[in-house]
Amino acid sequence: MMKNTPTTDNFPPGFIWGSATAAAQVEGAAWEDGKEDSVWDAFARIPGNVLNGDTPATAVDHYHRMPQDVALMKQLGLDSYRFSTSWARIRPGGRDVNPKGLEFYSRLVDELLEAGILPWLTLYHWDLPQGLEDAGGWANRDTAYRFAEYAQDVYAALGDRVRHWTTFNEPFCSSLLGYGSGVHAPGRQDPRAAVAAVHHQHLAHGMAVTELRELGAEQIGITLNLSNSIPRDPADPVDREAARLFDSLQNRIFLEPVLRGAYPEDSLKDLEPFGLHDLIRPGDMETIGAPIDFLGVNHYHDDLISGHPDTSGADGHGGGGARPKASPWVGAEHITFPSRGLPRTAMNWEVNPDGLRKLLVRLSQEYPELPPLYITENGAAYDDVVSGEGTVPDADRTRFILDHVQAVSAAIEQGADVRGYFVWSLLDNFEWSWGYEKRFGIIHVDYQTQVRTIKDSGLAYSRFAAAVRNGNSPAPEVPAAAPVG
Ligand code: IFM
């Protein structure tokens, strides 16, 4: 159980306190300065794909409001800002480099450095140029080679100022969800294409790591979304087998190729009918297993897994659009996600901070080859209300964040080498197929006016990070923020 007063012990010197966003979720300016459609622009235009017909076209207008957003980060005292670059802005249609696209990120990096904030760059947060999807997307091996070229372009423009390079964010989503379930762009429902996307994204990661390393990048890693797979009844072999399958598809087919240069034996067997063997060419696994300097861990909730039908309606894996969804669990479509009665967020995801501690300790114990860890995303969606005084009293989110930070502290105490925590998200934003319905920000955005207001959770997070930085002295007060237009 988490303590009521969060302790600032255990965090090593230099621990990074940050916050994260992604290009397609915040930038807007979907067709400005040469940018063309990403798969998310195209997917969102199809009625039924995104709740309320929302699109990322305007998002929270970060493309135009970037200096003001960096000022808010500075006001919160963030050490680092994790953002992604848009491939469709930098190489529209997947074709030639668009200098104006690169200029935006160059200005962003300068603005961050000027504010004393460490830029933490992700090359791929799901927004493939639609032109490349038209050529087969991630089911096509060639896309991996195009990604390595794009990585070089971004390094050429920003490598003199950016030290931290992340290849992919949550490849689980951009492969199994995007090509298997249809809940994410490009909306395909083809299990063989989903498995091909997994392998080709791994390959793209490995090729980019090699290129970036040769070019001189200091810190290179990948971010995976990982979950504890908990059998509903550990004594029931059907539930245990379902939990094994879930663990394979959610965690191990991503962790092990990247960390060990090999797919797990059981996953290879499970995925043979979907063509995994045929996709692997000589040299691929060595490329994919190129050493990395950090692993980013995104964690929101655990998963209670059963192999039996469930009627509780607890499944928190549904997307937001109206379109019928297929299962992303290739070869394991029968697995279910019953409820164990824990509180849930507005995403219907269970709240269980101790799951984060368990996950970090498991990673540290099971993977001797593990590099240092950073929590690159953790946070919660709740239905916020702006008070008459213009504040956002989001007590549930505040509790969620502080309890999870305590879970990180406990994991460090138990030997996990965790060096940073990025709260998701800096700003309310486009939550994929949920559109603008789900708010994850520590800064509230009024979508009509684009006015930003720091939520109470943002103030509490800022105070906590300051207390750690100041060597456990009492947390300084962060002045209540006036809304920024
Ligand atoms: O908004 C997403 C983010 O893009 C990737 N990780 C999970 C977040 C919440 O769903």
Cα separation, 449 vs 467, in Å, equals: 34
Which residue puts its alpha carbon closest to atom 9 of ligand 1?
Answer: 431
Which residue puts its alpha carbon closest to atom 1 of ligand 1?
Answer: 431
Relative to the CA of 377, which ligand 1 atom is closest? 6
Q: Which residue range(s) make up the domain with 98?
A: 16-470
Tell me which residues of the chain have a pLDDT lower than 70.
1-5, 472-482, 485
Q: From the centroid of its chain, how far is CA 197? A: 17
pTM of this structure? 0.97
Residue 3 falls inside a structural domain: no
What are the pocket residues of ligand 1 if the criterion is a CB atom closer than 6 Å to any ligand atom?
Answer: 22, 25, 170, 298, 377, 424, 431, 440
Relative to the CA of 298, which ligand 1 atom is closest? 6
pLDDT reported for residue 319: 79
Residue 11 falls inside a structural domain: no
Q: 269 C-alpha to center of ligand 1: Å? A: 30
pLDDT reported for residue 477: 52
**Structure token digits, residue 243:** 């939990």
Residue 8 falls inside a structural domain: no
From 224, 432, 433, give the residue whose CB has the most ligand 1 atoms within 8 Å, as the site to mutate. Answer: 432
CB 435 within 8 A of CB 320: yes
Cα separation, 290 vs 217, in Å, equals: 14
CATH number at residue 336: 3.20.20.80
Residue with tokens 């209300």: 385
CB 318 within 8 A of CB 325: yes
Residue with tokens 């499970």: 270
Relative to the CA of 379, which ligand 1 atom is closest? 9
Residue 9 falls inside a structural domain: no
Residue 244 falls inside a structural domain: yes
Q: 431 C-alpha to center of ligand 1: Å? A: 7
Residue 4 falls inside a structural domain: no
From 51, 86, 170, give the residue whose CB has the most ligand 1 atoms within 8 Å, as the site to mutate. Answer: 170
Q: How many domains does the chain have?
A: 1
Residue 292 falls inside a structural domain: yes
Positive/negative CA dihedral, 212, 137, 44, 168: negative
Residue 479 falls inside a structural domain: no
Q: 277 C-alpha to center of ligand 1: Å? A: 30
pLDDT reported for residue 318: 74
Cα separation, 105 vs 267, in Å, equals: 38
Relative to the CA of 25, which ligand 1 atom is closest? 4
From 431, 433, 439, 442, give the residue whose CB has the most ligand 1 atoms within 8 Å, as the site to mutate. Answer: 431
What's the residue count for the chain? 485
pLDDT reported for residue 4: 55
Which residue puts its alpha carbon closest to atom 4 of ligand 1?
Answer: 22
**Structure token digits, residue 306:** 């059963």
Annotate the chain with three-state secondary structure: CCCCCCCCCCCCCCCEEEEECCHHHHCCCCCCCCCCCEHHHHHHHCCCCCHHHCCCCCCCCHHHHHHHHHHHHHHHCCCEEEEECCHHHHCHHHCCCCHHHHHHHHHHHHHHHHCCCEEEEEEECCCCEHHHHHCCHHHCCHHHHHHHHHHHHHHHHHCCCCCEEEEEECHHHHHHHHHHHCCCCCCCCCHHHHHHHHHHHHHHHHHHHHHHHHHCCCEEEEEEECCCEEECCCCCHHHHHHHHHHHHHHHHHHHHHHHHCCCCHHHHHHHHHHCHHHHCCCCHHHHHCCCCCEEEEECCCCEEEECCCCCCCCCCCCCCCCCCCCCCCCCCCCCECCCCCCCECCCCCECCCHHHHHHHHHHHHHCCCCCCEEEEECCCCCCCCCCCCCCCCCHHHHHHHHHHHHHHHHHHHCCCCEEEEEEECCECCCCHHHCCCCCCCCEEECCCCCCEEECHHHHHHHHHHHHHHCCCCCCCCCCCCCCEC
Burial class (CB in 10 A: 0-12, 13-18, 19+), 437: middle
Q: Is residue 286 among the annotated active site residues?
A: no
pLDDT reported for residue 175: 98
Q: 238 C-alpha to center of ligand 1: Å? A: 31
CB 124 within 8 A of CB 168: yes
> Which one of 36, 170, 211, 377 is the catalytic residue?
377
CB 39 within 8 A of CB 442: no
Task: Give residue-wise pLDDT tens across range 247-269.
Answer: 999 999 999 999 999 999 999 99
